[in-house]
Amino acid sequence: MSELELYVSGDRVSEADGWTLSWLNARQGMARLGDGEQVLIAVAEGSGSDWVVTLRGRRIPVRVMTWRERMLAEAETATGRPAGPVSVTATLPGLIVAVAAAVGIEVVEGEALVTIEAMKMQNEVRAPRAGRVTEVHVAPGSRVAAGDPLVRIE
């Protein structure tokens, strides 16, 4: 375990001291945890460095990186990649009901770009950072799947 560095929602954490783990159902990633007082059931989902652990009903995103992966990630950050163009994708499948973004307009971080209706609710997709909209891939009435590109910001 010593070759691993653990991050939860961006913060580095250590493994839980005093807790023991046994796999109940490895196919479903289900584990039993105990610290001598309480017993918890957790579900682990993911692969590579990206994992989600469901604990007490809550999905907690966790990154598990080897030293090699960590160094590669740092090198990527150093080259300033995040400042480049971003493609904003649909986080859930649904029907596009409104498109506020238009090619050429400047948006600020958090500004609503597109509204997706799914499960009887309207969900606003917001700009992850400020920039100029260079591409709009959807129009009201289009159906999108999770991961489909919506808008490109440069």
Partner 1 sequence: MATSLSDGPSLRKDETIPEPPFRRLLIANRGEIAIRVIRACRDLGIESVAVYSDADVHDLHVMLADRAERIGAAPPAESYLSIESILAAARRSGAEAIHPGYGFLSEHAAFAEAVEGAGLVFVGPPAATLAALGDKLAARRTATAAGVPIVPGLSVALQADGSGPTADELARVGFPALLKAAAGGGGRGMRQVERVEEIGPALALARHEASAAFGDGTIYLERLIAPARHIEVQLLGDRFGNLAVLGERECSVQRRHQKLVEETPSAAVTPAIRQALFDSARRIATAVDFHNVATVEFLLDADGAHYFLEMNTRLQVEHGVTELVTGLDLVGWQIRVAAGERLPAELLEAPRQGHAIEVRLYAEDPHDQFRPSAGTVTAWQMPSGPGVRVDAGVEAGTTLSPEYDPLLAKLMVHGADRPAALARLRRALDETVIGGVQTDLSFHRWLVDEAGFVSGAYDTGLIAERWGDGPPVSVEDAAIAALVAARARSSGIAGATGDGPHHGLGTPRDGGWAVEGRRQAIERRRPA
User: Which residues of the shown chain bind partner 1 in the complex (CB under 8 A)?
Assistant: 1, 4, 6-9, 11, 13-17, 19, 21, 23, 25-31, 33, 40-49, 51-60, 62, 64, 92-94, 118-121, 123, 146
Cβ proximity to partner 1, 57 vs 84, nearer residue? 57
Rounded to a whole number of angstroms, the minimum distance from the CB of residue 81 to partner 1 is: 23
CB-wise, 18 or 104, nearer to partner 1?
18
What tokens were used for 114?
A: 């597109």
Q: How far apart are CA 124 and CA 110, in angstroms?
A: 10
Q: Quick one: 86 or 118, whose CB is closer to partner 1?
A: 118
Q: How far is the CB of 127 from partner 1 (least distance, A)?
A: 17
* CA-closest candidate to residue 144, choices 85, 86, 89, 100: 89
Of 19 and 108, which has the nearer Cβ to partner 1? 19
User: Is residue 117 within 8 Å of residue 123, measured between CB atoms?
Assistant: yes
For 8, 43, 50, 67, 80, the CA distances from 62, given in Å and listed in that order, are 5, 12, 6, 16, 23
